[in-house]
Structure 1
Amino acid sequence: MRKLVIIGSGAQSIDILETVHAINERQPTYALTGFLDDDVSLRGKEIFGLPILGPIADGASLPSDTFFVSGIGLLSLLARRPAIIARTGVSPDRFATIIHPSATVSRWCSVGKGSVILQHATVTAQASIGDQVMILAGGIISHHVSIGDYCILAGGSCVSGRVTVGPRTYIGTNASIRESLTIGSDCIIGMGAVVLEHVPDGRTVVGNPARTLPRQ
């Protein structure tokens, strides 16, 4: 079995932990080693029986046969996710792609390194999911959709066919995006938003129909 370390120890990391257990129940695949977290108050503690191994930068000192998966999923950390993950100091090839057994993922789609697809999510044919993407429980990615690296799609979000989403964009809980739109990089699509028009880079949109808000 592959040794696996989870980066971060918050809510999304626990979801990943549960997903890995579900994978192992079907077929033993991963030997969970513990968590890496920069919160010094967690040193020496355990979460569900797994130790906090040290800060994220300790990833490079772990055995070379160790694989990693990122549970950094807070909206407040969205722009910093690439830098946080890079602090492990390990090759992208050492990031595992984790897919919950209850998810429906087409054999004719692609899912990048380090991406996570949680319970009951759906990814349909000819969709392309980038590296380090998180699709949370119940998210729906339709045909011919392209999701850029480091995006987070919250629970129940729905991206209709032929939509392109740029890197580092967050799509909130139960948000819906109409078909054939382009959503730029570094955008925030608010909870429950109904997006009917293209969204340029760096925009925050909320509401039904979605409207632009100024970034704080």
Structure 2
Amino acid sequence: MYIFGASGQARAIIDILDPDVKISGVFDDDPKIKDILGFKVNGPVPEDFEFDAPLFIAIGDNKRRKLLQERFQKRTSFGIIVHKSAIVSRRTTIGEGTVIMEGAIVKVNTFIGKQVIVNTSSSVDHDCVVGDYVHIAPQATLCGGAEIGEGTLVGANSTVLPGVKVGKWCTIAAGAVVSKNLPDGAIKRRQD
């Protein structure tokens, strides 16, 4: 597997990889970053580089992850990472490039799109739909049947109640409770 990214999210990804997973190379567009957790950072991906293993985009920013997916999608496939401590129903669909971190729970009949981060100790209940490029932050909870639109950030320790639909590219603050549908681009503050 190749890793794109050499900052905080990349450290978290490299740290949870099974020791049997071979990291074939690490890339980052910042030429000043030379090393990450003992792995050499090769700089930007050369235009003529041929991937011989899947790529994992280890970038926390949802918009940037989308741009990188679009940049590399014709050149490679994308890996899926599920930490061994995560509990994931075998009747769940997980899109390419997605990571499910330590202690996360993903229940039955849930669809998770591509390039999604299901972060540490978060919970995605039954029958949820999570769009592409979403980040479900640590300890966030999606109750049964919740729908989260593309690119949305579900903040740490927030809760989306059963059946609530959240639009695309929304921001849900840490600790917020979402009890009604949100339109595209909405910002849900904790006190709202």
Q: Please confirm whether the aligned pair reaches a TM-score higher than 0.5, indicating the same fold.
A: yes
* Counterpart amino acid of residue 50 in structure 1: F
Aligned partners of 1:70 and 1:109: how far apart in 2? 22
Please give the residue correspondences for 1:174-185 in structure 2 after superposition, counting only pairs within 5 Å: 174-185=157-168
Contact persistence 2:57–2:65 (CA under 8 A): no
- What is the one-letter code of the residue matched to 2:98? S
* Counterpart amino acid of residue 157 in structure 1: A
Q: 3-state SS of the aligned residue for 1:82? A: helix
The alpha-carbon distance between structure 1 residues 162 and 111, as it changes in their structure 2 partners (threshold 3 A), is: same
1:89 Cα deviation from its structure 2 partner: 5.4
In structure 2, relative to structure 1, the CA distance for the partners of 1:79 and 1:46 (3 Å cut) is closer
Alignment pair present for 1:69 and 2:59:
no
The residue that corresponds to 1:16 in the other structure is 13
Alignment of 1:1-216 (within 5 A): 4-20=1-17, 23-24=18-19, 28=20, 30-42=21-33, 45-55=34-44, 57-58=45-46, 61-74=48-61, 78-88=62-72, 90-91=74-75, 94-208=77-191, 211=192
For residues 18-77 of structure 1, give each alpha carbon's deviation from its aligned partner in whole angstroms, at most 9, with x where no partner exists. Answer: 111xx23xxx3x2112321111211xx22111111121x43x544442211111103xxx
Percent identical residues = 30
Shift of 1:5: 1.3
Cα distance in 1 for residues equivalent to 2:51 and 2:134: 27
Aligned length: 192
Question: Cα offset for 1:206?
Answer: 1.1
In 1, Cα distance between equivalents of 2:70 and 2:172 = 25
Q: Which runs of 4+ in 1 moved over 6 A?
A: none
Partner Cα distance (1:51, 1:64) in 2: 17
More strand by share: 1
Structure 2 contact 57–68 (Cα < 8 Å) conserved: no
> Against the structure 1 CA distance between its residues 89 and 198, is the aligned structure 2 distance closer, same or farther, given a 3 Å change threshold?
closer
Structure holding more helix per residue: 1
For structure 1, which runs of at least 5 residues remain unmatched after alignment?
212-216
TM-score in terms of structure 2 length = 0.94
SS at match of 1:40: coil
